[in-house]
Structure 1
C-alpha cells in the first residue's frame, strides 16, 4: 500500500520521462563517440539514473507539499491530497530524495552534479514560497523548459561524453534534440494546467489557461508541437552526416499526423478528455527519447 502511494507521489509520467532521457542520452553518447559499453559506463549510467530519479521525486514532491489544498480540488487522488500519505511522510520523502540526489551526483561527476543541482534549485524556486514561480504563467513555463529542455539534455550528454572521450563537446545531433525538447516542453508547460482550471482559479494561480482560455491554449499547444516536429525534420535534412535523415523525417511526420488526428477527439468541456490528451502529449515526449537514439545508431 505504501509503495503504491509512493509511486503516485513520484508522478509516474515524469519518472518515465526522466528515465528515458537518461538512457537515451547515454545511448546517443555511445553512438556519436563510437564508444564501447563497459562496466564503468554502466555503473555511471545506473548512478546517473538513480540521482535523476531522486531529483525528480524531490521536485514533484515539493510541489505537492505546497499544493495540498489546490490538489484537493484538481487532483484529489494524489497521496497528500487524499490523506493516504501524511505531510510529515511527504516531507521525509522529499528531504531524503533531495539529499541523496545531490550526494550521488557530486560523487559521480561535475556535469551530473551541475545537472541535478540546477534542476533542484529551479524546482525549489518553482514551488517554494515566497518565490513560488508557479504562481506566474510565464515564469512557470520558463522553469519547466529550462530544466526539461536545456539542463537535462546538455548536462547529461556532457556527463556521458566526458566519460567516453574525456572532453566536453556537444555534437549537432544533441543541439537538435535539445531544441526539439525545448519547444515540446513549451507545449507541456502550456497545456499542463488546462485540467486544473477550477482549483487554480479558486486559489488565484495565474496560468495560461486562466489568462487566455482553454481553446487558445489547446491550439497553441498543437502548433508548438507541430513546430518542434517540422523543425526536427528540417534539421535532419540539413545535417545528414550525423543522423539518419530518412528515419527522422518519416517517424516525425507520422507522429505529427497522429497528433492532429488524435487532437480531433478532445472535448475541452470534459476534464477526463483533457487529462487524457495531456497524457498523450507526454507519450509523444517519451517517443522522442526512443526515436532519436535509433536515428543516431542507424545512420
Structure 2
C-alpha cells in the first residue's frame, strides 16, 4: 500500500520521462563518441539514473507539499491530497531524496552535480514560498522548459561525454534534441494547467489557461509541438553526417500525423478528455527519447 502511494507521489509520467532522458543521452553519447560499453560506464549510468530519479521525486514532492489545498480540488487522488500519505511522510520523502540526489551526483562528476543542483534549485524556487514561481504563468513555464529542455539534456550529455572521451563538447545532434525538447516542453508547460483550471482559479494561481482561455492554449500547444517535429525533420536533412535522416523524417512525420489526428477528439469542456490528451502529449515526449537515440545509433 505504502509503495503504491509512493509511486503516485513520485508522479509516474515524470519518472518515466526522466528515466528515458538519462538512458537516451547515454546511448547518444556512445553513438556519437563511438565508445564501447564497459562495466564502469554502466555503473555510471545506473548512478546517474538514481541521482536523477531522486531529484525528480524531490521536485514533484515539494510541489505537492505546498499544493495540498489546490490538489484537493484539481487532483484529489494524489497521496497528500487524499490523506493516504501524511504531510510528515511527504517531508521525509522530499528531504531524503533531495539529499541522496546531491550526494550521489557529487561522487559521480561535476557535470552531473551541476545538472542535479541546478534542477533542484529551480524546482525549489518553482514551488517554495515566498518565491513560488508557479504563481506566475511566464516564470512557471520558464522554470519547466529550462530544466527539461536545457539543463537535463546538455548537462547529462556533457557528463557522459566527459566520462567516455575526457572532453566536454556538445555535437549538433544533441543541440537538435535539446531544441526539440525545449519547444516541446513549452507545450507541456502551457497545457499542464488546462485540466487544473478550477483549482488554480480558486486559489488565484495565474496560468496561461486562466489568462488566455482553454481553446487558445490548446491550439498553441498543437502548433508548438508541430513546429518541433517539422524543425527536427529539417535539422535531420541538414545534418546527414550525424543522424539517420530517413528514420528521423519518417518517424517524426508519423508522430505529427498522430498528434493532429488525436487532437480532433478532445472535448475542452470535459476534464477527463483534457487530462487524457495531456497524458498523450507526455507519451509523444517519451517517444522522442526512444526515436532520437536510435536515429543516432543506426546511422
Shorter-chain TM range is over 0.9
TM-score (norm 2): 1.00
Instruction: State how far apart, in whole Å, the 1-side matches of 2:239 and 2:12 are.
Output: 35
Q: CA deviation at 1:298?
A: 1.0
Structure 2 alignment gaps of length 5 or more:
none
Residue 29 of structure 1 is matched in structure 2 by 29
Instruction: State how far apart, in whole Å, the 2-side matches of 1:18 and 1:298 are.
Output: 23
Residue 277 of structure 2 is matched in structure 1 by 277
Q: How is 1:168-187 mapped onto 2 (pairs within 5 angstroms)? A: 168-187=168-187
User: Counterpart of 1:84 in 2: which secondary structure?
Assistant: coil
1:58 and 2:58 correspond: yes
Q: How is 1:13-52 mapped onto 2 (pairs within 5 angstroms)? A: 13-52=13-52
Give CA deviations for 1:139-191 in whole Å, capped at 9, x if unaligned.
00000000000000000000000000001010000000000000000000010
Instruction: State how far apart, in whole Å, the 1-side matches of 2:214 and 2:275 are.
Output: 13
Q: CA deviation at 1:132?
A: 0.1
Q: How is 1:1-299 mapped onto 2 (pairs within 5 angstroms)? A: 1-299=1-299
User: Counterpart of 2:290 in 1: which secondary structure?
Assistant: helix
Moved over 3 A (4+): none
Q: CA deviation at 1:209?
A: 0.2
Task: Work out the number of aligned pairs and report it.
Answer: 299
Instruction: State how far apart, in whole Å, the 2-side matches of 1:95 and 1:190 are.
Output: 29
Instruction: State how far apart, in whole Å, the 2-side matches of 1:257 and 1:103 are.
Output: 44
Q: CA deviation at 1:7?
A: 0.1
Instruction: State how far apart, in whole Å, the 2-side matches of 1:213 and 1:106 are.
Output: 44
Give CA deviations for 1:49-100 in whole Å, capped at 9, x if unaligned.
0000000000000000000000000000000000000000000000000000
Instruction: State how far apart, in whole Å, the 2-side matches of 1:180 and 1:157 are.
Output: 15
Q: CA deviation at 1:206?
A: 0.2
Instruction: State how far apart, in whole Å, the 2-side matches of 1:129 and 1:107 are.
Output: 31
Instruction: State how far apart, in whole Å, the 2-side matches of 1:140 and 1:119 are.
Output: 14
Q: CA deviation at 1:22?
A: 0.1
Instruction: State how far apart, in whole Å, the 2-side matches of 1:215 and 1:130 are.
Output: 31
Q: CA deviation at 1:288?
A: 0.1
Instruction: State how far apart, in whole Å, the 2-side matches of 1:41 and 1:8 are.
Output: 31
